[in-house]
Amino acid sequence: MRSLSGIPYGQSLTYEVPVDLQWGTYWWHSHVGAQYVDGLRAPMIVHPPTEVHAYDEEYTIILSDWYNEQQKVLIKQFMNIYNPTGAEPVPNNAAIYVAQNGSYLPGFAENATMTFVPGKTYRLRIINQSAFAMFYAWLDGHDMTIIEADGTDTEPYAVDHLSLSVAQRYSVLVTAKNDTSTNYVFQALFDSTMFDTVPDDLQLNYTIPVQYSPSAPYGIKETKDTLEMTMDQLLVPTIVEEQLVATRNISLGVYFDTFDDGINRAAFNNITFQLPSTPSLFTELSMGNASNTPRIYGEQTHAYVLQKNEVIDLMIINWDANSHPFHLHGHKYQIVRVAQDVSSNDTTLNPPHTEGAANPMRRDTVVVPAGGAYNVRFVADNPGTWIFHCHIEWHLEAGLAVVFVEAPDEAQQTITIPQVMKDQCATLGIASTGNVAGKNSTSDFSGEAKGPFPQKNGWRPRAIGALAGTILAALFGMGAVVWYAFGGQLDAEDVADEVRREIAAKKDGGLIRRNVVKGWRGMTKKSD
């Protein structure tokens, strides 16, 4: 992602991530193009000095979709004028696997096994590392209790099953039975309602064996009559933080439509995100006082400049017909309002904005339902540039993102770009200073991305011209019919002359009639 440059082929970059103030269940992944779709992703578990909840052992369960084709091919098929509805690529399979104590267990899904010892309490860390798919997950025959979401420890919250959209993480506690006569399975089910089509050969349900005894039979696999979204706004963090009082409001409306380039794209407030030529962080750090001006980051970057310690109330209104998982880099936000239907007069579906919550839930990825809205709040206390985006990778590629530029003045005083990163930018031909176009200017933006833009409604000049031509052709046609009706038909000699002309024109196979030169037959096409 163009907050920084990528790492050139054959080179390396060391990331230093402070973990003294954060812990929990995370994952790392590439944000250059859609590379993580091809597998450049993995869990990252951070343990605190003292765990809030006691347990004996833990497993990390990775849920992800899998495509047989590489992401570059899939993006070309998706971002294409021949895909006017914006139908996302449907995965070919799911890649479900398990890690414990820093190592992956052998096998995938039904070929992997989690061993349970009677009476022990297990922490199951569940991560959705997909490109697109949401999963429902549960453990047959066992109770599950949520104790963490996206790195936020919570008070225990019992659930029958979980919903995990892309980038979401949950930890649940499960107490093993004191009986080894039966083995069970952990189930993960694709939410197939997300797919425009469900291929006949697509497996929707996947299982991981949970083994008490190698010789014991497996119980009957459970089915769920209803599957519901996990109500994350009902979770209560163990560390109390009162609801923030907003000092600035930002509203982002989610739209999908065919833009003026003929491609179905995504947009916040009708602006579809395009990568800036210069990484936004480098612009923030190199443009002095001008770094406080959103324009220098590029119109298609859709940047919002936030001043130090502003409290942002971010309202995401989803005008699309599908739900979307929205993720903010560099922050966790408070969930302060959830509306299931922003057009409803029913306050249970569209509640009013309220203040003064004692301890609202905090996480970094929320799922905004179709036709609904989330209000989240965070403090702009982390200088730098942070992208906010839909974590369905195809929708990020389609432009569903904005960039928050935080505290430029402080960033310039506290952040230093390592020389190795500047050198890697040079290797990739990317500017490491200047505005969106790599120029030290507040007015010269030549070279920056322009558009695409939403289509303009109403009659445009080309459409008017086409309509005029159609009307003229219709009038000439009607005139010909009238002329023919009043005796304007050809006589026998006229017909004979026309036939002779047609025969003469076909001596070269009709090529002369199509204005193709006679020598064409002897020519061969040059290779491209």
CA separation (Å) from 517 to 159, 246, 464, 507, 511? Answer: 76, 73, 35, 13, 7
Q: Which residues pair with 135 in a beta bridge?
A: 164, 190
Query: How is residue 271 annotated by DSSP?
Result: B
Point out which residues pair with 384 in neighbouring strands: 406
Structure-token match 């039979």, residue found: 217
Global pTM value = 0.86
Q: pLDDT tens across 277-288, in order? A: 999 999 999 999
Is the pLDDT reported for residue 518 higher than 60?
Answer: no
What is the bridge-based pairing of β-strands 373-379 and 333-339? Answer: antiparallel
pLDDT for residue 502: 58
Evaluate if residue 510 carries a pLDDT over 60.
no
pLDDT value for 230: 97
d(CA 158, CA 45): 23
pLDDT 10s digits, 129-158: 999 999 999 999 999 999 999 999 999 999
Q: What pLDDT digit, counting tens, does each position of 356-409 carry? A: 999 999 999 999 999 999 999 999 999 999 999 999 999 999 999 999 999 999
What does the radius of gyration of the chain's CA atoms come to, in whole angstroms?
30
pLDDT, position 485: 65
Is 340 in a helix, a strand, or coil?
coil
The letter for the amino acid at 194 is M
Instruction: Report the distance separating Cα 325 and Cα 271, nearest Å.
Output: 19
Which burial class, exposed, middle or buried, applies to 235 when counting CB atoms under 10 A from its CB (0-12, 13-18, 19+)?
A: buried
Angle among Cα 129, 132, 136 to the nearest 5 degrees reads: 70
> Using 50, 70 and 90 to split pLDDT, how confident is the model at 351?
very high
